[in-house]
Chain A
Amino acid sequence: MHRFANPARFLRLASAILPWSSALSALLIAAGLYFALFHSPADYQQGETVRIMYVHVPSAWLAMACYSTMALSSAVALIWKHPLADLVAKAASPIGAAFTFLCLVSGSLWGRPMWGTWWAWDARLTSMLILFFLYLGHMALINAFDDPSRGAKAAAILALAGFVNIPIIKFSVDWWNTLHQPASVSKFGMPSIDPAMLLPLLLMALGFTCFFVTVLLIRVRTEIIASKLRAIRMTQIHAVPVAVPVAE
């Protein structure tokens, strides 16, 4: 763990991964779009609207995966005080907010023609909306303090506390009566989705995952430079008048 917490080593690792993850995400999303829009059948009940699934479901998965990443790195930051873990959490929340937003709006666009409503306050939709607010709260809290380390700590606690929402989102459709249907793809048993529709779904999901990795690495790199900037400015403010004569 400590090996990756070293920013210089992380930057080298990031530069090695970035070309691959970005190329792979472009490739997978392009293939996913081809199958999603041109080479997959309409649904026997839902007709062409089923194509909305290929952006809605992957964005929902990524919204939750991103939150798990954020909560995990927040725990690492709180317990082991790795400086990099705070930066990962800070870099992750805008990405998660974007995926959650995409999930909510695409779901709304799917719900209107099929269910007959843009929105319903059922357990699945409501818990997903809470996830969106958790992301926004995290982004706001992290910048709410003059001292960045205090902001990071408060945001990490919020991220950990909000993690209880993740199993609620996942199991809401099993625990309560909801308008939203249960999961089609689960670990146990055959997915109740035709292979011709599963293919674009999985391609898009993998493409989104690679895209998430790519953007996360870019944002963490940005945060590392930003903290470097802060450090230099601090030394300039505090050390320059005293340190210059000593150094020369």
Chain B
Amino acid sequence: MDALANYLHMGGYARFVWPAYGLAALVVGGLLLASLRGLKARERELKALQDSVPGRRGRSRAAADTGQDQ
């Protein structure tokens, strides 16, 4: 137990070392989550848009594909 407390104490610099690592976790994790959520949201939007116009579905797909091949 003492060893753990001693370790967490970081030689008296706990209040500088741990916030640095905590912030790193927040920034790295937050960036990853935000990027993944953005991707999922766009994918949902694209699907909804393609489903909302059933008659033109094939065409908008085709338009999107030609858009890719430019």
Check whether chain A touches chain B (CB < 8 angstroms): yes
Which residues of A approach B to under 8 Å, CB–CB? 6-8, 29, 37, 42, 47-49, 51-52, 55-56, 59, 83, 94-95, 98-99, 101-102, 105-106, 109-110, 112-113, 211, 214-215, 218-219, 221-222, 225-229, 231-233, 235-236, 240, 244, 247-248
Contact A225 B39 (CB under 8 A): yes
Could you list 26 examples of A-B contacts with CB < 8 Å? A6-B68, A8-B68, A47-B11, A48-B12, A49-B10, A49-B16, A51-B10, A52-B17, A98-B27, A98-B31, A102-B27, A102-B28, A106-B24, A109-B20, A215-B31, A222-B35, A222-B39, A222-B42, A225-B42, A225-B43, A229-B42, A231-B67, A232-B60, A232-B63, A232-B64, A235-B63
Q: Is B69 engaged at the interface, CB distance under 8 Å to the other chain?
A: yes
Say yes or no: A109-B16 contact (C-beta < 8 A), given A6-B68, A226-B42: yes
Bound complex: CA A75 to CA B20 (Å): 35
Whether B20 contacts A56 by the Cβ 8 Å rule is: yes
In the complex, chain B residues 1-23 whose Cβ is within 8 Å of any chain A Cβ = 10-13, 16-17, 19-21, 23
Structural contact, B16 and A113, CB atoms closer than 8 A? yes
Cα distance A8–B70 when bound, in Å? 10
Contact partners of A106 in chain B: CB under 8 A: 20, 23-24
Chain A nearest CB from B24 CB (Å) reads 4
Shortest Cβ distance from A36 into B: residue: B21
Please, how many angstroms separate the alpha-carbon atoms of A79 and B42 in the complex?
Answer: 29
Measured CB to CB, the nearest residue on chain A to B59 is A247
- A interface majority secondary structure: helix
Docked pose: A99 CA to B27 CA in angstroms: 8
Chain A residues, Cβ within 8 Å of B30: 98
Question: Residue B35 contacts which of A8, A110, A215, A233 (CB distance < 8 angstroms)?
Answer: A215
Looking across the interface, which residue of chain A has its beta carbon closest to that of B61? A232
Contact A105-B23, Cβ < 8 Å, known A98-B31, A235-B60:
yes
